[in-house]
Homo-oligomer: A and B are copies of this chain.
Amino acid sequence: MAERGRGWARAVRGLLLDVSGVLYDSGADGGVPIAGSVEAVRRIKASGLKLQLCTNETQATRESFVRKLRALGFDIAVAQVTAPAPAACHLLRERGLRPHLLVHDDLVPEFAEIDKTNPNCVVLGDAAENFTYANLNEAFRLLIGMEKPVLISLGKGRYYKETDGLKLDVGAYMKALEYACDIQAEVVGKPSKRFFESALAELGVPPEQAIMIGDDIVNDVGGAQQCGMRALQVRTGKFRPSDENHPEVKPDAYVNNLAEAVDIILQEL
């Protein structure tokens, strides 16, 4: 696909990149860069294209996430990362919501300034090892006890790939709580339109001049296209061959990896 018809690569001024599965495969060991991705990020920056990372990462604060990426060789600044937790804090303040957090320990500092007494909503992130039976029951009881339960989910991904295999993502646990309480969660993060729009605002490029590159056919590709951007799916990370027959979402192109996408985009500049 990437080799045929490169119309998709024309008139680009900025790139939004998903991180896990595009830049690196995450894992308990800190993860490993995907071959060619460190060099690809360097070439993007050297080209003068604008660059913003657009991630549903909720296992760490943006600061520690960026530290990890830099340790892997990616030359990225904190301001270049759009992530769900800061967006959720904005929403909580706007609506006077006091969250009970079911999130990863390392994400908790993002909510340091938020009043968490006497919770009137639940914020769900990719809590990983914190997805215990006891913690899920606790979040459920708080929700079912509210007159109008409010569940805010930091993303709705199905699963992601770590170095030791596929893991259930926050979306699976969101569905469990939605079903148990007979409610609909509000999703902050990809594929929410509002989230992509804030990433584009931070990128400083209108949607028609931006390309999203991700490994998630629905949350990266589908979400970005709904904002008027072009979107590529990489064949790394959680990509599965069956994604190429997705009934609803068709990427503007498939590429084998970020490096290939950048090759083509830079040739078309």
Chain A interface (Cβ < 8 Å from any Cβ of B) = 128-129, 131-133, 136-137, 140-141, 144, 158-159, 165-169, 171-173, 175-182
Interfacial chain B residues near A176, Cβ < 8 Å: 168, 172-173, 175-176
Bound complex: CA of A167 vs CA of B178, how far in Å? 14
Taking A158-B180, A171-B179 as known contacts, 5 extra A-B pairs with beta carbons closer than 8 A to each other, sorted by chain A number, are A144-B159, A168-B180, A171-B180, A175-B175, A175-B176
Q: How far is the CB of A21 from chain B (nearest CB, A)?
A: 15
Question: Within the complex, what minimum Cβ distance (angstroms) separates A208 from chain B?
Answer: 31
Q: Which residues of B contact A180 (CB under 8 A)?
A: 158-159, 168-169, 171-172
- 24 A-B pairs with CB atoms under 8 Å apart are A128-B133, A129-B133, A132-B132, A133-B168, A136-B172, A137-B165, A137-B166, A137-B167, A137-B168, A140-B159, A140-B166, A140-B172, A141-B166, A144-B159, A158-B182, A159-B180, A168-B176, A168-B180, A171-B180, A172-B177, A173-B176, A175-B175, A175-B176, A175-B179
